[in-house]
């Protein structure tokens, strides 16, 4: 019973934190470019996790490091940059709804490569979610939507990587503590992210006031939205199933759309709203047992 309640608390908390991450990313992009924001996000998260979890590093068995490397790549490194680039051209509310395809991709990856059992209803949910995604992106309006629909594909690719990551953690890393997995991930990512930041010419503009302000938002995003949230998300995966854990993305669009409406003057037209509903309905059907 305790595990059942805990997983719902974690799901709600992560939904709120990651839903607010979209507005933090947009605010960060007002001072730095996409590559710089992605690198800074990883570095701030890395500082936090290595500081609190450095004692966990020796606890990672040698044969597990290959999975630590792979999950760091698919779960953080690639998605962080993909989302940063996408959000420079499309609205956070649209990105958050596209992100809700993560459970669908988790289901597909689990079915194809991890022996996950699937029902007809779940397959229907996958197809329905894809159709809703097409509605959402293709029939959008405004400067940051249809004209840049190719950037929406970056978000879709990120959700595919998330699906791979969740299944890998559940199958190969469930015996490790969430803090151990998270710390190991960012030990792997720290130097690559620092190198990417260096070659992005960030240190030539770091004294600019806009950059300093943006770094404040990215620091919150990195520490809370990436570092702390990764620990809690890995705990959620261990307490539940891959698809349930990925269903945190049900909550994310609601939070992101409300924040986008109140703080970023974003809006969704009727067809987009219909597409969003179809996406979420597909995700719901695909996640039911």
**DSSP per-residue codes, 144-174:** TTGGGHHHHHHHHHHHHHHHHHHHHHHHHST
CA distance linking residue 226 with residue 80, whole number of Å: 9
pLDDT at site 231: 95
How do the pLDDT tens digits run along the chain, 289 residues long? 456 688 889 988 998 999 899 889 989 999 999 999 999 999 999 999 999 999 999 999 999 999 999 999 999 999 999 999 998 888 777 788 888 888 889 888 998 898 877 777 777 877 787 777 777 666 655 554 445 678 889 999 999 999 999 999 999 999 999 999 999 999 999 999 999 999 999 999 898 999 999 999 999 999 999 999 999 999 999 888 787 788 787 778 777 777 777 776 766 667 767 877 887 777 777 666 5
**Is the torsion defined by CA of 55, 36, 265, 102 positive or negative?**
negative
pLDDT at site 4: 66
pLDDT at site 166: 93
Whether the Cβ atoms of residue 116 and residue 241 lie closer than 8 Å to each other: no
- Give the closest residue to 190 by CA, choosing from 84, 74, 72: 72
CA distance linking residue 267 with residue 14, whole number of Å: 24
pLDDT at site 14: 94
pLDDT at site 202: 95
pLDDT at site 289: 58
pLDDT at site 47: 97
Whether the Cβ atoms of residue 188 and residue 5 lie closer than 8 Å to each other: no
CA atoms within 13 A on the CB side of 171: 16
Domain ranges in the chain are 2-287
Q: From start to end of 27-177, where are the E strands? A: none
pLDDT at site 152: 86
pTM of the predicted model, to two decimals? 0.87
């Amino acid at each position: 019973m305790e595990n059942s309640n805990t997983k719902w608390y974690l799901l709600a908390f992560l939904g709120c934190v990651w839903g607010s991450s979209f507005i933090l990313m947009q605010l960060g992009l007002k001072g730095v470019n996409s590559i710089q924001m992605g690198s800074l996000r990883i570095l701030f998260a890395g500082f936090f996790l290595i500081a609190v979890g450095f004692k966990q590093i020796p606890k990672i068995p040698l044969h597990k490091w290959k999975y630590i490397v792979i999950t760091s790549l698919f779960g953080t490194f690639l998605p962080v940059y993909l989302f940063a680039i996408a959000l420079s051209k499309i609205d956070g509310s649209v990105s958050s709804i596209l992100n809700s395809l993560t459970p669908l991709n988790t289901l597909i990856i689990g079915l194809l490569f991890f022996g996950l059992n699937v029902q007809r209803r779940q397959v229907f949910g996958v197809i329905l979610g894809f159709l809703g995604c097409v509605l959402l992106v293709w029939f959008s309006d405004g400067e940051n939507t249809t004209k840049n629909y190719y950037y929406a594909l970056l978000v879709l690719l990120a959700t595919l990587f998330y699906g791979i990551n969740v299944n890998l953690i559940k199958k190969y890393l469930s015996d490790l503590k969430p803090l151990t997995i998270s710390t190991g991930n960012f030990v792997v990512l720290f130097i690559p992210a620092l190198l990417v930041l260096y070659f992005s010419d960030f240190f030539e503009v770091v004294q600019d006031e806009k950059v300093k302000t943006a770094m404040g938002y990215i620091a919150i995003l990195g520490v809370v939205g990436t570092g702390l949230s990764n620990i809690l998300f890995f705990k959620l995966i261990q307490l539940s199933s891959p698809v349930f854990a990925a269903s945190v993305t049900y909550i994310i669009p609601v939070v992101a759309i409300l924040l986008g409406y109140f703080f970023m003057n974003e809006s969704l037209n009727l067809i987009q709203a219909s597409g969003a509903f179809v996406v979420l309905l597909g995700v719901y059907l695909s996640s039911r047992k």
